[in-house]
Structure 1
Amino acid sequence: MQKCLLVILSLMIYMETTAQKKAVSDSTTYKKHSMLALPVVYYSPETKFAFGALAYNLFKPHPLDSLAQTSYVRTAFIYTLNNQYLLEVDNQIFFRDDRRRMKNYFLLRSYPDSFYGIGQDIVPEEDRDLIKFFDLTFRSSYLFQLFDNMYLGARYQYYDAMDIEKPEENLLDTNDHLGKDGYRTSGLGIAFQWDTRNNILNASSGYFIELESEHNFKAIGSTYRYDWMRLDMRYYKRVNKSGVVATQFRGDFTSGDVPFESLAKLGDSRIMRGYFKGKYRDKVVMATQVEYRQHVWRRFGLVGFVGAGNIAPALDQFSTDQLKYNYGGGVRFMVKKKEELNIRIDYGIGNDDNSGFYVEISEAF
């Protein structure tokens, strides 16, 4: 997160709309959709004032289905006074009886990004490159139930980086990094899930194991040939009436001719909070975290978290030398009691003066 970044997000002012559906002969009414929307305002030297909204739409394709988890669509839109914009949409859809699952992500942005280099030896903050580009990301996976709690399916990903603007002297050109003048990736792969969580929006028991792969090659439109894989493992346990311990391991692994913006990145709003996403990037990133979640009073709760992670040019070169640590805490405000959906405000601290402030809807993991 930028040093001058200020985020103002109102907890107490939100909009909730519901669309209802009548069902069964006793005239009982069921909610089909439930919407939560929050305003977002911030300032940074690169964007000037920026404003937008973050919205969550909760629903079930079949309202009377007791087996499927609650589906959601998350939408974020940001516009800045420098005529920059960002539109992000992601969703998870759980079909009847949870026999099929679909997950999609879409990002369209014309937005500045910071580049510090690749690997452990990054440049200082004052020497980073501010890169402006227009890019589009789309990925989708569709899974079928194999056994209880186990799913297998296919995944597709498309990315296009265009109109890259760099300083006259910059790290991308100096080091001749792949993709420095723009590129396209197109990849096919598989997706696997083993999921026993009691609530995907705010789990208090169960585990989640997800393995996704992606193979980018020129025959389907990719500029470069490379492979990507992510392993995500989580475990949740209630330790007392109002406290939950959540643990996660996440590893991103790439190989081949990986362009600079598609490398594995350490840090974001979900894991290794406190590190600017992409400040550390390489072909391999592995990180783990533990979080304690405590309900305090009525709709309010507190969390504390610690984590560690690192980057490497290859899996067999991963080391705990120069390990990155993070710790922090946050506040929770429950806005949807039935789904146990929280607004979260987190502050994370890392090594070497890295820190970040995050406001989101739903838990980090």
Structure 2
Amino acid sequence: MKSGLLLGLFLTITLKVSAQSDSIVYQPNKINQFKIVPLPAIGSNPANGWLFGLAPSATWYMGDPKTTKMSNLVGNFLYTTKKQWIFSSRSNIFSDENKLIFIGDWRYFVTSQFTYGLGSSAPNGTDFDPSQGNVLWGKQGMDFSLVRFYETVLKRIGDSKFYIGAGYHLDVHSKIQSFNEDGPINSPFFTHDAYNISKGFDIDRYTLSGIGLNMVMENRDIAVSPYEKNFAWVQYKINPSFLGSDQPSSLLMLDYRHYINLSERRKRNLIALWGFGNFVVSGNVPYMILPSITWDMFGRSGRGYAQGRFRGENMVYSEAEWRFPLQQNKETFGGTVFVNAASFSSKTSNESLFNKINPGYGMGLRVMINKKNRTTIAADYGFGQKGNSGFYLNINETF
């Protein structure tokens, strides 16, 4: 979640990491090289006010590090001055010799967020959508609670880099309340309410529950901060009514990442490329479950825009980033410059993919606090169109 967290108390973190050994001693039948960085967190944003809590990160090996990739987990445990709770845990776990991968995304939010309507043309300011009569278009407030449970298990195909598997996914949005400057209001004029009413969903609670079929190519050296090779993920979600979905539907997600070294001597000098697509294939899904910017697993897409700034039935996103060291012979400090672009379609507003593209760009600083595991604090400032911008602090690389 891009809440602009100040992943703070660098002295505490530095002392914690410097006390850890970087030597690799493999102990069979034990979790090896387990390291946790308990990052205190403080920050603010317009949707949540001030946030306080913890943003811990953990890395470890489930087998011999020579033959097993590093597992990682990133969490958020936050409370805000607007009496909101944000709990999340995102993980990639590799079993011994990479025979299995477990991908988890668990969240509990009691929060609020602005929505702007569907499609890439949704404006910053509030207005009425001419294609829909009196339905509002542009910035509109929403309070809601979210329970998310995604867990996927993938099995390696022989000795290859390919995995196939299945998982279960559940999204429950509840206590949904639209609001404007005068306070809470439920109205068919609000984009969220108008869309859900037109598709036959409730406006205050809905559920998406189903099975995901997955294929993954995992070829990165270290997933949290890759220097080379590539990664691909294809996921097809089937959401039948008998598993609890309000209406049957299906969605397709495509994710590809590629890392190109610019120097054999300094592999941290590289170009990182990311292509991401999310599509409603059949049926209808509720408004807040439609593909949206920054609702990818780690909430890293769309630097330069707020979470949920763009939303639609289909989404295509791309990003390119140059990552480079800032020291001649050390890896502690690094920098990055990036550009991204997103496009959304909407049947409601009769907008097709690529009718409009929303670009973003920016730069950032990297502080590597553990060289062996490449645990990194990333601070970025991004710019979007029409005055959109944002400051982002995260643990590990953006993608």
User: How far has the Cα of 1:14 moved from its partner?
Assistant: 3.6
| Aligned AA (2:146) | D
Partner Cα separation in structure 2 for residue 140 and residue 251 of structure 1: 20
Match of 1:350 among 371, 374, 384: 384
Partner Cα separation in structure 2 for residue 202 and residue 8 of structure 1: 20
Post-superposition CA distance 1:45-66 (Å, at most 9, x none): 543322111111111123x342
User: How far has the Cα of 1:143 moved from its partner?
Assistant: 0.5
Instruction: Give the equivalent residue in structure 2 for 1:249.
Output: 275
* Pair 1:161 & 2:173 matched: yes
Instruction: Give the equivalent residue in structure 2 for 1:75.
Output: 75
Q: Normalised by the size of structure 1, how large is the TM-score? A: 0.90
Which secondary structure state, in structure 2, belongs to the residue aligned with residue 124 of structure 1? Answer: coil
Q: Normalised by the size of structure 2, how large is the TM-score? A: 0.83
Instruction: Give the equivalent residue in structure 2 for 1:262.
Output: 289
Q: Which moved more, 1:101-110 or 1:346-355?
A: 346-355
Partner Cα separation in structure 2 for residue 31 and residue 328 of structure 1: 37
Match of 1:137 among 143, 148, 167: 148
Instruction: Give the equivalent residue in structure 1 for 2:135.
Output: none
In the TM superposition, 1:182-331 aligns within 5 A as 182-240=205-263, 241-242=265-266, 243-255=269-281, 256-267=283-294, 269-297=299-327, 298=330, 299-313=332-346, 318-331=352-365
**Greater share of residues in strand:** 1
Post-superposition CA distance 1:73-108 (Å, at most 9, x none): 111111012221110001111001101111011000
| Contact 1:159-1:184 at 8 Å conserved across structures | yes
Partner Cα separation in structure 2 for residue 238 and residue 45 of structure 1: 38
| Aligned AA (2:287) | F
Post-superposition CA distance 1:250-293 (Å, at most 9, x none): 00111321110110012465222111121110011101111111
Instruction: Give the equivalent residue in structure 2 for 1:146.
Output: 157
Partner Cα separation in structure 2 for residue 160 and residue 55 of structure 1: 25
| Contact 2:47-2:114 at 8 Å conserved across structures | no
Partner Cα separation in structure 2 for residue 100 and residue 7 of structure 1: 32
| Contact 1:11-1:343 at 8 Å conserved across structures | no
- Relative to structure 1, the CA distance from residue 223 to residue 295 in structure 2 (aligned partners, 3 Å threshold; closer, same or farther) is same
Partner Cα separation in structure 2 for residue 349 and residue 68 of structure 1: 39
- Relative to structure 1, the CA distance from residue 343 to residue 196 in structure 2 (aligned partners, 3 Å threshold; closer, same or farther) is same
Post-superposition CA distance 1:154-174 (Å, at most 9, x none): 021001111112232433334
User: How far has the Cα of 1:248 moved from its partner?
Assistant: 1.0
| Higher RCO (C-alpha under 8 Å, 6+ residues apart) | 2
Coordinate RMSD, CA, aligned: 2.7
Q: Which runs of 5+ in 1 are unaligned?
A: none
Match of 1:12 among 7, 10, 13: 10
Partner Cα separation in structure 2 for residue 47 and residue 189 of structure 1: 32
Partner Cα separation in structure 2 for residue 125 and residue 11 of structure 1: 37
Which secondary structure state, in structure 1, belongs to the residue aligned with residue 311 of structure 2? Answer: strand
Post-superposition CA distance 1:298-340 (Å, at most 9, x none): 30000011121200137x9744332111111100000111112
Runs of 4 or more above 4 Å deviation: 17-25
User: How far has the Cα of 1:6 moved from its partner?
Assistant: 6.6
- Relative to structure 1, the CA distance from residue 45 to residue 301 in structure 2 (aligned partners, 3 Å threshold; closer, same or farther) is closer
User: How far has the Cα of 1:150 moved from its partner?
Assistant: 0.6
Post-superposition CA distance 1:5-28 (Å, at most 9, x none): 875333623443769997679xxx
| Contact 1:267-1:274 at 8 Å conserved across structures | no
Partner Cα separation in structure 2 for residue 45 and residue 13 of structure 1: 28
Which secondary structure state, in structure 2, belongs to the residue aligned with residue 266 of structure 1? Answer: coil
Q: Which runs of 5+ in 2 are unaligned?
A: 127-137, 180-184
| Aligned AA (2:147) | L
| Aligned AA (2:90) | D
Partner Cα separation in structure 2 for residue 248 and residue 23 of structure 1: 34
| Contact 1:206-1:236 at 8 Å conserved across structures | yes
Instruction: Give the equivalent residue in structure 2 for 1:57.
Output: 58
